Amino acid sequence: MGWSGHSLPLTRLESPRSEAAVDRTLRSLLPGHIAKIAPPGWGRTARQWLDFGADSLVEMHMPNTPPSDAPLDDLTFWFYTTVSWPSSLAHHWIRHVIADEGRFTIRELLQAHGYRLAPGDNLADVSTRFVTEGSRIAAVTADGVIWQGDRMATESDAALSPETLALVRAVRADGVCRCSACWEAGDLAS
Ligand SMILES: [Zn+2]
């Protein structure tokens, strides 16, 4: 058990605001943004990952370290490292909201706080791709899937419905994620 940190380097613009100010704003907005890109039924789960309370699974600075009054050099997310929650899915969606050009990004918000994302974020180094089946989400593996949730369940290709298997094969063929965030956001295939 422990924490794994993933950083997005920031370029400071004019009058960058403090870590505490950025932290406050992201805390208030990020859970709602994640809920908007998640499939039905996942909004509350996503909020729980990100509620930043005592049992939070994601923290925006080193856990138990109060945000400082100094400007930031990067935006670091700390993920609680245990297999019993879908951390790669949380990672995927946070990256989508923070770093992508999707429908609910917070780029403008960062800019309003005096920052721009710099190249080279390691939140982008995520190879996990997902498929959605109704309100269920699964990570695609080489020969099956891992259903995401409080109980992570592995299933082989042979056990999947024909529709889901077709999606899984499409993801393996083109490497494009079919989760609700990526797929509806449009042309990630390009
Ligand atoms: Zn996705």
68: CA distance to ligand 1 center in Å?
Answer: 32
178: CA distance to ligand 1 center in Å?
Answer: 6
Q: Is residue 70 situated within a structural domain?
A: yes
- Same structural domain, 60 and 102: yes
Q: Is residue 7 situated within a structural domain?
A: yes
- The larger pLDDT score, comparing residue 185 to residue 71, is at 71
Q: Where are the alpha helices (DSSP H) in the chain?
A: 19-37, 43-49, 87-99, 107-112, 162-174, 180-184
- Same structural domain, 118 and 178: no
43: CA distance to ligand 1 center in Å?
Answer: 15
- Same structural domain, 99 and 53: yes
d(CA 64, CA 54): 9
188: CA distance to ligand 1 center in Å?
Answer: 10
Q: What is the arrangement of strands in the sheet containing 58-59, beginning at the earlier edge strand?
A: 58-59, 74-80, 3-12, 115-117
- Same structural domain, 72 and 14: yes
Tell me the percentage of the chain whose pLDDT exceeds 90. Answer: 34
- Same structural domain, 148 and 108: no
pLDDT at res. 54: 67
48: CA distance to ligand 1 center in Å?
Answer: 19
- Same structural domain, 33 and 109: yes
- Same structural domain, 79 and 24: yes
Q: Is residue 33 situated within a structural domain?
A: yes
Cα distance between the two ends of the chain = 38
pLDDT at res. 159: 97
Q: Is residue 189 situated within a structural domain?
A: no
Q: Is residue 150 situated within a structural domain?
A: yes
Residue-range definition of the domain harbouring residue 83: 3-124
In this prediction, residue 131 has a pLDDT band, given cuts at 50, 70 and 90, of very high
d(CA 3, CA 172): 30
d(CA 88, CA 77): 13
- Same structural domain, 63 and 111: yes
Is 31 a residue whose pLDDT tops 50?
yes
Return the amino acid letter for 106: I
Q: How much is the pTM? A: 0.84
- Same structural domain, 98 and 142: no
d(CA 168, CA 142): 10
pLDDT at res. 136: 92
pLDDT at res. 184: 65
Q: What is the mean pLDDT of the chain?
A: 84
Is 8 a residue whose pLDDT tops 60?
yes
In this prediction, residue 143 has a pLDDT band, given cuts at 50, 70 and 90, of very high
Rounded to an integer, the average pLDDT of 86-95 is 87
65: CA distance to ligand 1 center in Å?
Answer: 31
Q: Is residue 190 situated within a structural domain?
A: no
- Same structural domain, 120 and 157: no
15-19, 70-74, 101-105, 128-132: segment of lowest average pLDDT: 101-105
Q: Is residue 41 situated within a structural domain?
A: yes
- Same structural domain, 36 and 115: yes
104: CA distance to ligand 1 center in Å?
Answer: 14
Number of structural domains found in the chain: 2
